Structure 1
């Protein structure tokens, strides 16, 4: 039986990338909804026969519903799927949308932007989590200004950033969110930096690209099994 994921993508340069490749290799079919192109976000996964939900990252704030009208329906779907016990994975902006949808608080990180490779800092709960166990200290790509400032009621913090902000949350029986980008290859990361510097990368940006490129194989080794474990939740 084919397993199907509904994927909400917010921007053309923020695709499922590595995660999409790994899930395709595991026999999972991805149906991508592009809210930025006017695709409607469904109110329930069952309406399209989907077995799970993935919400990707984007540059907009999680509270910017007026400028990005699909964000409200995305938050509603995240809440519905989480409360129904369906498999959910929310990444970066998705992590923030899910926290808001369930009663948390998000906003600019008082510690400033997080960009580049940051190790996963698992909590004791994270070390036994079915999705994140074994990832303590693994490299993770970050590219974010906003964070979850207060997790929603009932959420479990599975990992923390060096400044103590949540790096990963367990939101429900089969719902997770991560501030990092397990999907992001060095090529996608480079595109993000270039979009901010159309005149060319400065030395600091070039160093960040080199950092992510150097971590390429370690990133794949850490996050491919993570992708497989999430796919197993769709059974």
Structure 2
């Protein structure tokens, strides 16, 4: 069994359906890889935000870093992010598969040499239109996906420059760097593939109102987009699981 280390950065920020998809048996995401050959994946979720210790060395077969309302170098409020960055550095050096979501994607970008800015650009909240870029055509996770996608967003901070040599995979109208790959096995996304329409419905409406959004419309859009979006991000999760098995 291959074990995946999952770093959780907030009490509501668990792996949710993305974690379920990673550990589903019998699906390869269209890769043709025999998912039974490497055995099932198992998640070790560390509640780092609550003081749970992170390992000094990465011995897992993959690393997933989840989102949270922080900057990736906000060590004063979130001292565990320094150790998380060390684990990402180790993964990049050893070509261990990485998947970073929102804050996790920003941390990956920063670790690999990119830049992130606080409260940059137009905030994105709720289901958002995304565009697959031509560079994604041969990507192990994003290749062959529909050219127009949707992803659940919940951010005000943003990546402002990708790491040197990174492959830019997905963009949106208001936030260019929605998905990228650094090296061969490290992916970062700005959106939340783990978040469903039900999650969006539970978000505080006052935050949406503060950004000039109609909470009811945000909820309805998420409900409309969720079935197709879930199918796509499930495929991406299965493909990442296949990459993990191959790497192991």
Name the TM-score, length of structure 2 as normaliser: 0.86
C-alpha RMSD over aligned residues:
2.0
Deviation at 1:203, TM superposition (A): 7.5
Is 1:212 the counterpart of 2:222 in the alignment?
Answer: yes
Secondary structure in structure 1 of the residue aligned to 2:214: helix
Q: List aligned pairs for 1:162-201, cutoff 5 A.
A: 162-163=173-174, 165-193=176-204, 196=207
Deviation at 1:196, TM superposition (A): 4.3
1:230 maps to: 240
Does the 8 Å contact 1:147/1:165 carry over to 2?
A: no
Q: Where does structure 2 lack aligned partners over 5 or more consecutive residues?
A: 26-39
1:32 maps to: 45
2:80 maps to: 70
Is 1:113 the counterpart of 2:112 in the alignment?
Answer: no
Number of residue pairs matched by the alignment: 228
CA distance in 1, matches of 2:226, 2:168: 27
Does the 8 Å contact 2:123/2:155 carry over to 1?
A: yes
2:19 maps to: 20
Is 1:43 the counterpart of 2:24 in the alignment?
Answer: no
Secondary structure in structure 2 of the residue aligned to 1:166: coil
2:30 maps to: none
Q: Where does structure 1 lack aligned partners over 5 or more consecutive residues?
A: none
CA distance in 2, matches of 1:64, 1:86: 25
2:8 maps to: 9
Does the 8 Å contact 1:142/1:180 carry over to 2?
A: yes
CA distance in 2, matches of 1:65, 1:103: 18
